[in-house]
Amino acid sequence: MRSLSFIVLSLPCAVAMAADRECLVLTTPTARGEAIVAERVERATCPAEVAAVLYDPASGVVRASTDLQAGDAIRLVPADRLANATRGQRVMAIHREGGVTVSRPVTLLTDAPQGRPVLATTDDDRRVRGVLQP
């Protein structure tokens, strides 16, 4: 049996590099080790202190290095380092071959930014690899 090859997700991707004085401000709390999610941050002018984040090369996203509260600021990071989908999120896996399209819901096993490989599982516990698409 052939595995599904693409996971398609439609989420906004809203942050890009900007001047040093701009930061990202969290709109929701983020626990230590959790991915910083693109739809849960807003651009703002940097306050005197900003919280540190860590880059996780395995998943390609930045993570909170400490527990962060809504309103905490972090340094501006490139949009492709922010998660667009998080572990446990339900998305549609879509496989196209010729004129045939097959889709089914899957649950993500990893955090991922758009365009990066991601691992998911089906409801019957089959593993699916794909690329997160808009």
Q: Measuring CA to CA, which residue among 120, 31, 128, 97 is closest to residue 70?
A: 31
pTM for the full predicted model: 0.76
How would you label 80-104 residue by residue, b for 16+ Cβ within 10 Å and e otherwise? bbbbbbbbebebebbbeeeeeeeee
CATH number of the domain residue 121 falls in: 2.30.30.760
Domain count across the chain: 2
Tell me the pLDDT tens digit for each residue of 4-60.
333 333 233 233 333 458 899 999 999 999 999 999 999 999 888 888 899 998 889
Residue 118 lies in a domain: yes
State pLDDT tens for residues 64-79. Answer: 999 999 999 999 999 9
- Same domain (yes/no): 69, 96: no
**89 and 111 inside one domain:** yes
- Nearest-CA neighbor of 42 among 64, 30, 25? 25
| Contact between 13 and 36 (Cβ < 8 Å) | no
